[in-house]
Structure 1
Amino acid sequence: MTLDPEDSKLITLARASRARSGSAEGAAVRDETGRTYSATNVALTSLTLSAVQVAAAMAISSGARSLEAVALVSEDAPSAADEAVAAELGVKSLLVAGPDGTVRG
């Protein structure tokens, strides 16, 4: 699959976030103005958030009104909650890649 360069950048950012922290998931989002945000999942006793949820929250708390794209790097498929967040913010489909950056259909 050939990706748009901006979508490839999201995969790269998500992979880097995941690798830097040793987390199970990395995600990156691009808002309607082109700003990007990357994050990893949070797995505390008192708080559990997916990487997509954290990245989306960062974008929204920074003033984004919608997202153009969402990328998830994980060994697992996106959760229903991740897909719902993306859809609510205007994204038609999540880009999903394995830890090696290979995009899964």
Structure 2
Amino acid sequence: MTLDPEDSKLITLARAARARNEAAEGAAVRDETGRTYSATNIALESLTLSAVQVAAAMAVSSGARSLEAAALVTAGEGPSAADTAVTGELGAGALHVAGPDGVLRS
């Protein structure tokens, strides 16, 4: 499967965020204006959020009204139901999932 160059960029940003923070997950989203946001999962005693949730929250808190696409990089199984729900609610056309090596899974 070949990705659009802008969607490939999301995979690259998600991989970089994950590697930089040595996190379990990295995610990146692109909003309706083309701005991108990347994040990693948060696993605190008092707060647990997936990387997709954090990236989506960053976009919304910066004024985004919708998402064009999202990417998740994980060694785990893939997006959670909450990840799929938030990207769906924000209208993301796709939620691309890749392994830590950047190879697209879906």
Please state which band the TM-score falls in when normalised by the shorter chain.
over 0.9
**Residue in structure 2 matched with residue 10 of structure 1 by the alignment:** 10
**Residue in structure 1 matched with residue 25 of structure 2 by the alignment:** 25
Work out the CA distance in 1 between the residues paired with 2:39 and 2:72.
10
**Residue in structure 1 matched with residue 36 of structure 2 by the alignment:** 36
Work out the CA distance in 1 between the residues paired with 2:25 and 2:19.
9
- Spell out, residue by residue over 1:50-94, the C-alpha distance to the aligned partner (whole angstroms, 9 max, x if none): 000000000000000000000000012100000000000001331
1:84 to 2:94 alignment: no
Secondary structure of 1:90 counterpart = coil
**Residue in structure 1 matched with residue 104 of structure 2 by the alignment:** 103
Work out the CA distance in 2 between the residues paired with 1:94 and 1:65.
17
TM-score, structure 1 as length reference: 0.98
**Residue in structure 1 matched with residue 95 of structure 2 by the alignment:** 94
Work out the CA distance in 1 between the residues paired with 2:94 and 2:86.
11
Which amino acid is the alignment partner of residue 44 of structure 1? L
Work out the CA distance in 2 between the residues paired with 1:54 and 1:71.
12
Secondary structure of 1:65 counterpart = coil
Equivalent residues of 1:27, 1:71 under 8 A apart: yes
Unaligned runs of at least 5 residues, structure 1? none
Secondary structure of 1:33 counterpart = coil
- RMSD of Structure 2 on Structure 1 (CA): 0.6
Identity of aligned residues (%): 79
Equivalent residues of 1:41, 1:50 under 8 A apart: yes
Structure 1 ranges of 4+ moved more than 6 A: none
Work out the CA distance in 2 between the residues paired with 1:75 and 1:19.
12
Unaligned runs of at least 5 residues, structure 2? none
**Residue in structure 2 matched with residue 53 of structure 1 by the alignment:** 53
